[in-house]
Structure 1
């Protein structure tokens, strides 16, 4: 395709968007809502998968020590933990050290939580002789004096997988429904364009315009609708994910888990949403052309 022809097709597609007015706005809005929910759904699923991997790889029990516990009391607790059956090793980590791990994983912004502002706990990491023994050891450790809580991977796995199953089931169904609505609205928008330009298209055919030449402006129009519809979802999801990441990092790190870092993940997610937007826009155009353009 020549550059001059491409420019003409692009100009025609822009004019059609303006000419269709509210119908174009409705189609763009449908794509916006759809891609916003698709983006949220993808962000949740990918992070659930990341956390589930953390859980599967976690064969340790994290024993959080109550605040105000003295060094002597901590030593007593450590001895009790070491004497427990199936315990291989007990390692101490102060709340300051735990915070340094968070800073290393999530960035310097978490350095503000120093001293008394540090919300983390001193922790004993208990390694078991067998992964199957972690549940038993965690339950026993939880009952000991000076223990605030004892967590292990399997403790959260069942809840996580149950939530994940529900999100996948309802999320996929709802997303497919919204995609259908978006494609339907886009196809109607293109239909209006085709009907309004019927005479012009007839003349183009008479003077020998090829089918591909006639198709391109409508394909571009659908693609523009999809691309315009992805702008707001990208902004909202990027800002929202960054906020959730900053606010959940500490609490998740205290349990030994982490979310996907925003940088590369958000770039990939944004690119995926843009591609989906363009595809459903082009698909809506193709449906309309098949039904009303007969080419």
Structure 2
């Protein structure tokens, strides 16, 4: 334990002694990890929004104009209230289909009210008696990939006038979502590899500048482990210090973006990842990446100088 703290103190003194090289190394780590952190935040939230949009895709089933599928009772010619024999006939057939998760009913009056609210005075010409819209069953599938199949099955049911699920636009959205996932992961992997390469080479330059120091220690009989430990800790310090600025940048930029965009997204039943704990996980990952790359980059870079 005493030896560890001696090496720790020695690593801190060496950072101060090699001031400019330390600043260069920390600056390189900061710039690289800032790019990694920002790109990761954008990618993960883009993928989340794409998934949210997929999950919001529904099958709108428009019933016939004179449909009574959602009315339990009817009024006959004599003015008497009787049970509706065709009550839920369409509803039950839809629920019986594979991959149907839930059904929400929206009457034509409700649909008209939504249109009037969204479109303004243009649709206020219509009242309940002249409402040109139809009752709708909003069908949710167990998985977005089944939307097209379920829509095709529903369109065959008697009592259904038409079905809408977005058609070609929806299929295009699914393709775009898959492209985002695939290329986003490849981009993240490439950026991490680039980060490892840049940080490792920067640390290697600091080691090269002190190669004579390492060789002298080796010649006077110091063990490899004794020589290696301070450099290992120096690399860890460089990675840790270099990750502090990127962590602060990611935190404040994400906070601004979250407060600006998320309220509007929530109105559309979408959302970004919440600040807590997402940002803290991301910051922890940046600190860990910095420490691992910095410390092991130091050890790997100095191996050649431990051979006399």
Once residues 202 and 176 of structure 2 are traced to their aligned partners in structure 1, the CA distance between those partners, rounded to angstroms, is 39
Once residues 61 and 257 of structure 1 are traced to their aligned partners in structure 2, the CA distance between those partners, rounded to angstroms, is 18
Distance 1:256 1:81, change over 3 A: farther
Please report how far the alpha carbon of residue 166 of structure 1 lies from its aligned counterpart in structure 2 after TM superposition.
4.3
Is residue 178 of structure 2 the alignment partner of residue 180 of structure 1? no
Once residues 288 and 41 of structure 1 are traced to their aligned partners in structure 2, the CA distance between those partners, rounded to angstroms, is 28
Is residue 18 of structure 2 the alignment partner of residue 20 of structure 1? yes
Is residue 120 of structure 2 the alignment partner of residue 68 of structure 1? yes
Deviation string 1:150-186 (CA, Å, 9 cap, x unpaired) is: xx97674444444454444444334422320111111
Once residues 72 and 46 of structure 1 are traced to their aligned partners in structure 2, the CA distance between those partners, rounded to angstroms, is 43
Output the TM-score relative to the length of structure 1: 0.68
Instruction: Report which of the two structures shows the higher radius of gyration computed on alpha carbons.
Output: 2
Deviation string 1:223-277 (CA, Å, 9 cap, x unpaired) is: 1110011000000000001111111113322332111001111111111111100
> 3-state DSSP class of the match of 2:193?
helix
Distance 1:252 1:216, change over 3 A: same
Once residues 30 and 155 of structure 1 are traced to their aligned partners in structure 2, the CA distance between those partners, rounded to angstroms, is 40
Is residue 220 of structure 2 the alignment partner of residue 193 of structure 1? no
Gapped runs of 5+ residues in structure 1?
89-125, 141-151
> 3-state DSSP class of the match of 2:210?
helix
Gapped runs of 5+ residues in structure 2?
61-113, 153-161
> What does 1:149-160 align with in structure 2 at a 5 Å threshold?
156-160=173-177
Output the TM-score relative to the length of structure 2: 0.65
Corresponding residue for residue 134 of structure 2: 82
Aligned length: 237
Distance 1:174 1:139, change over 3 A: closer
Please report how far the alpha carbon of residue 74 of structure 1 lies from its aligned counterpart in structure 2 after TM superposition.
8.1
Once residues 5 and 276 of structure 2 are traced to their aligned partners in structure 1, the CA distance between those partners, rounded to angstroms, is 35
Distance 1:9 1:81, change over 3 A: farther
Compare 284-293 and 58-67 and name the one that shifted more.
58-67
Once residues 153 and 229 of structure 1 are traced to their aligned partners in structure 2, the CA distance between those partners, rounded to angstroms, is 44
> 3-state DSSP class of the match of 1:257?
coil
Residue from 288, 292, 296 that aligns with 1:279:
292
RMSD of the TM alignment (CA)? Answer: 3.4
Query: Hey, which of these two has a bigger chunk of helix by percent?
Result: 1
Distance 1:42 1:254, change over 3 A: same
